[in-house]
Chains A and B, each alone.
Chain A
Amino acid sequence: MTNPREARAQAEISFTINREPKVVHAYPMERLLDVLRRQLQLTGTKEGCGEGECGSCAVLMDGTLVNSCLIPVLQAAGSSIITIEGLASGNTLHVLQQAFLENGGAQCGICTPGMILAASHLLNGKSEPTMEEIQEGLSGNLCRCTGYSQIVEAVAEAARRRTTA
């Protein structure tokens, strides 16, 4: 479908998405967010503001939490990316997903993918965070529905389950 001029303008980019190697053809400055959603059909990653404020589009890139709306796809070349689709294993939810479900951590759900990835990033660095550390760790992700309490409780619960598992 791509005409030759477009093809020349695009770059071939290889990276690992959710532990699977992928090759895409994209304009170098295309947002990683758009490549994930449109080319790779990974629509779990959401756009809330497009300027790195709300964290809805957060993904893990080489273990670091990034806002995919601010990452030109070329910058992601060679990296390993985890999106919300990469957390559950088969039909078994990730411990964070299960804890969000049980504690009312999601209402409308639009912030949830980014919020869960932020929580996952937090717990990877700190297995027993205090409530304040959880609040701090999620402060780059905006939620308009919950007032955060039940999200913070869900993350604390997930941390407990991970350490006792």
Chain B
Amino acid sequence: MIEKGEVDGIWEKAAYIVEGEYTTGAQEQLYIENNGMIAVFDAAQGITVWGSLQCPYYIHKALMALCDLPAERVRVVQMETGGAFGGKEEYPSMIAGHAALLAMKSGRPVKIIYDRMEDMAATTKRHPSRTRHRTAVSRDGKILGGEIDFAIDGGAYATLSTVVLSRGAIHAGGPYYWPSVRIRAKAVATNAPPHGAFRGFGAPQSLFAMERHMDRIAQVVGLSPIEIRRRNFLQPGQATTTEQVVREPIDLRKLLDRALNVSDYESKKQRFAKENQAGATRKGMGIAAFLHGAGFTGSGERYLSSVVGVEGCADGNVRVLVSSTEFGQGTKTVLSQIAAEAIGLPYENVSTAQPDTLEVPNSGPTVASRTVMVVGKLVQSAALGIKQTLLSSNLLQDGYTAAEFRAACRQYVAAHGQFRSWSRYEAPADIFWDDQKYRGEAYAAFAWAVYIAEVTVDLTTYSVSVDDFVALQEVGKVLHPLLARGQVIGGVAQGIGFSLYEKVVWQNGRMQNGQMTNYIMPTSTDLPPIRVLFEELGNVYGAYGAKGIGELPMDGPAPAIINAVSDAFGIHFDFIPLLPEDIMDRLEKDRLDNEGFAASPQENGVDPTGVVR
């Protein structure tokens, strides 16, 4: 539970009390490469596994316990991994365990590769959620306080549910200032397979609720979705729900204005209001404003205590030694780029070692949008260590060229042997977190964003198409513009799937549609132009001013799109996935209700215009 201020006293001061309940469904990561692992056992060397995975040291730890082997006799090697999105954070420890036990028992190499149906049936998906909001609002639309009740379906075992719940709860208040709030959060056990990590990790669920609820508050108070947000945005100097003071000069109003401007929001809104009176389609605009904390929550990074190495090699080139894995996000590119920048070498002279627990230190898992910000900062400092060593041993002088660096590096290795520089995470002194009261600096940095969706709903098929999407974010310094844009577009695409297409059908705790034929993700023809824009404030805690970026774009699309669909009809849709049949059912129900009212206008306080009082 998160508690801030005096919630119980606010209700009588409120001009409006706004309630809403919002739900989100399970979502399959649907990496195109299924889970797979190879294990080999040798009595002298122990167990070695190679596979498709995110977190080598998670598997290392699991296999030490499972096989009862010491650390040096367990080796985990990450191979090229065909997508992960959180879906290969935790589950690979299971399949690695199965392969390892079979290899030990049989004395033969064992390869296990799931086919699609097996992968869909067995592996973890995004936690379904239910969020209730009860909010006290002043006459002029300011949030006075409220209660948020956030619940997620953990499935049959706890696994990562506690940490998903934690991140979801901390993000539940959105990018707004709450003078008082009480956030209760719980994960419940059900008969489904365990739910687990998926990009966003609880935040997309609770932020969907918050941003849908803001539109409901706006309607009750009689303000526009723009104005209600503008009046409640967190500002520098104010404190979040966990009482973390915003120290950076973030101006969310400016972010909102820019996104509105780019999307041509106001004029489209006016035009749609006219056009929606007739015709075979309805159009709408939706806004989502949100934030995403980078790195492990609270004391997480302190406990992880990540280590990173940078090596000056015998050929004069530099190698980055991290357990951070590449699965499409650009880990190798960006970490090499950071080391190259720190030393002043061309990118071509830097490489990243294959994540192999025999070779690389534990730089923590590749999750939580922490790689560039946290691990990147450690790479930067370890790389500076290499440079400093060469400078202080007089093999190199300031103002050196790349050729001089490489010559000095070769000389050093020839004289002293292996040349490595290590850097270990140390929590900044001004970051404080209380695990008991759930209070303090939840994250070293937040990324901020405003997304705007434009949708058309076809009144014959009830299908929703997203026609335009503006994604504006502040993620600190953008280190690699091409890759950053790729992260945002990819995240938005997954968010569109989460909102409008991807439905896990459960029966007796099993997924009934575990195929790509009946679990539908967006294709190249289903997506709008996604316009990606950045603001850059920088960040003192991240490598060269970077914050986390990977998960942020998953948070905004669902509320922006469902706000737009709700705008198109002037009614609230409060759940995702929102499929055409759901829209049809709702409109049909409203129509029948209205006809019922029309038949007996005097009954039950319904006035003859058909509007419920």
- B524 x A138 contact (CB < 8 A): yes
Q: Which residue of A lies closest to B117 (CB)?
A: A50
- B327 x A108 contact (CB < 8 A): yes
- B82 x A51 contact (CB < 8 A): no
- A70 → B minimal CB distance (Å): 12
Max chain B C-beta neighbours (<10 A), residue from A106, A110, A141? A110
Q: Which residue of A lies closest to B84 (CB)?
A: A108
Q: Which of B352-360, B419-427, B432-440, B513-521 contacts A (4 or more CB under 8 A)?
A: B513-521
Q: Which of B145-153, B295-303, B479-487 contacts A (4 or more CB under 8 A)?
A: B479-487
Q: Which of A21-29, A74-82, A86-94, A146-154 contacts B (4 or more CB under 8 A)?
A: A146-154
- A48 x B524 contact (CB < 8 A): no
Interface residues of B in 16-34 (CB under 8 A from A): 29-34
- A48 x B486 contact (CB < 8 A): no
B80 near A: Cβ within 8 Å? yes
Assembly CA distance A103 to B29 (angstroms): 24
Query: How many cross-chain pairs have Cβ atoms below 8 Å apart between A and B?
Result: 111
- B524 x A148 contact (CB < 8 A): yes
A143 near B: Cβ within 8 Å? yes
Assembly CA distance A141 to B32 (angstroms): 10
Assembly CA distance A142 to B517 (angstroms): 12
Find chain B residues with CB under 8 A from A139 CB. 523-525
Interface residues of A in 100-122 (CB under 8 A from B): 103-104, 106-111
- A107 x B329 contact (CB < 8 A): yes
Interface residues of A in 115-134 (CB under 8 A from B): 134
- B539 → A minimal CB distance (Å): 23
Find chain A residues with CB under 8 A from B492 CB. 147
A58 near B: Cβ within 8 Å? no
B328 near A: Cβ within 8 Å? yes
- B147 → A minimal CB distance (Å): 36
- A147 x B527 contact (CB < 8 A): yes
Assembly CA distance A162 to B83 (angstroms): 31
A5 near B: Cβ within 8 Å? no
A49 near B: Cβ within 8 Å? yes
Q: CB < 8 Å: which of A46, A51, A104, A149 contacts B32?
A: A46
- B489 x A147 contact (CB < 8 A): yes
Find chain B residues with CB under 8 A from A83 CB. none
Q: A145-B328, A145-B490 given as contacts; is B33 within 8 A of A108 (CB)?
A: yes
Assembly CA distance A152 to B424 (angstroms): 41
- A149 x B489 contact (CB < 8 A): yes
Q: Which residue of A lies closest to B326 (CB)?
A: A108
- B33 x A110 contact (CB < 8 A): yes
A56 near B: Cβ within 8 Å? yes
Assembly CA distance A111 to B516 (angstroms): 14
- B515 x A53 contact (CB < 8 A): yes
By size class, the interface of chain A is 20 to 34
Assembly CA distance A144 to B492 (angstroms): 11
A18 near B: Cβ within 8 Å? no
Q: Which residue of B lies closest to A105 (CB)?
A: B486
A17 near B: Cβ within 8 Å? no
Q: Bits for B497-533, please: 1 = Cβ < 8 Å to A, else 0.
A: 0000000000000000001110001111101011000
Assembly CA distance A139 to B82 (angstroms): 19
B494 near A: Cβ within 8 Å? yes
Find chain A residues with CB under 8 A from B369 CB. none
- A152 x B524 contact (CB < 8 A): yes
- B527 x A104 contact (CB < 8 A): no
Assembly CA distance A49 to B83 (angstroms): 14
Find chain A residues with CB under 8 A from B116 CB. 48-51
A54 near B: Cβ within 8 Å? yes
- A50 x B115 contact (CB < 8 A): yes
Question: Which residues of B are interface residues toward A (Cβ below 8 A)?
Answer: 29-34, 80-85, 115-116, 327-330, 482-483, 485-486, 489-494, 515-517, 521-525, 527, 529-530
Q: Would you list 16 pairs from A and B whose C-beta atoms are within 8 A, ordered by A residue? A: A46-B82, A51-B116, A54-B516, A107-B328, A108-B31, A109-B80, A110-B32, A110-B82, A142-B516, A144-B31, A144-B490, A146-B489, A147-B490, A148-B523, A149-B527, A150-B489
**Extra 9 A-B pairs, beta carbons < 8 Å, given A145-B83, A145-B328, A146-B489:** A48-B32, A56-B32, A104-B486, A107-B328, A138-B524, A142-B521, A143-B524, A146-B493, A148-B527
Nearest 10 Cβ contacts at the A-B interface: A110-B82, A108-B328, A147-B493, A107-B328, A53-B516, A147-B489, A148-B524, A48-B32, A49-B516, A108-B83
